[in-house]
Amino acid sequence: MFTIFDVYSLVLLLVSMGLFVKRYMTQDPPVYPYLIIACTCLVANWLGEAGGGIFALVLLVAASFSVLGCLLYPSWRTMNSGDPKKADAKHSENTAS
């Protein structure tokens, strides 16, 4: 018998792995955000089956926001870290070229 936790975690896992494979073909994405999503889906499914429904739902919602973060911010490694020295060095490299 399938529960909502099975379906939700499986769909979320398939979407995140599909996004990773698509990005892997064109870019060099980091692996650990997608690994965290997969582990969260695993734990949430286990909790849902064991009777911890509200905790499983919270974990699945958090994993959903992580998938949205991976989807909306694919180049998070190249974003400005807020360090003015690095930003000035990057700006001088761009203007020198």
pLDDT mean for each 10 residues of the chain (97 residues): 82 88 84 85 87 86 85 65 55 58
Domain boundaries, the chain: 4-96
Amino acid 56: pLDDT: 86
pLDDT at 53: 81
Q: Given this model, what pLDDT does residue 51 score?
A: 83
Give the span between the Cα atoms of 12 and 60, in whole angstroms. Answer: 8
Long-range CB contact pairs, 19-26, < 8 A, 24+: 19/67, 19/70, 19/71, 23/74
